[in-house]
Amino acid sequence: MSLNAQISKHLKDVYFGGNWTSVNFKDTLADITWQQATTKVYQLNTIATLVYHCGYYLSALYRVLHGEPLNAKDEYSFNLPSVQSQRDWENLLEKTFADAAHCARLIKELPERKLNDDFTDRKFGSYYRNMAGIIEHSHYHLGQIVIIKKIILSERK
Residue 137 is part of a domain; what is its CATH number? 1.20.120.450
Question: What is the average pLDDT value for the chain, to the nearest integer?
Answer: 95
- pLDDT the model gives residue 109: 95
> Which pLDDT tens digit goes with each residue over 26-78?
999 999 999 999 999 999 999 999 999 999 999 999 999 999 999 999 999 99
Q: Are 83 and 38 in contact (CB under 8 A)?
A: yes
Look at residue 157 and tell me whether its pLDDT is greater than 70. Answer: no
Q: Which pTM was predicted?
A: 0.95
- pLDDT the model gives residue 155: 79
The region that residue 117 occupies, defined by phi over 0 for left and psi between -120 and 50 for alpha, beta otherwise, is beta
Domain around 134:
3-155
Number of domains in the chain: 1
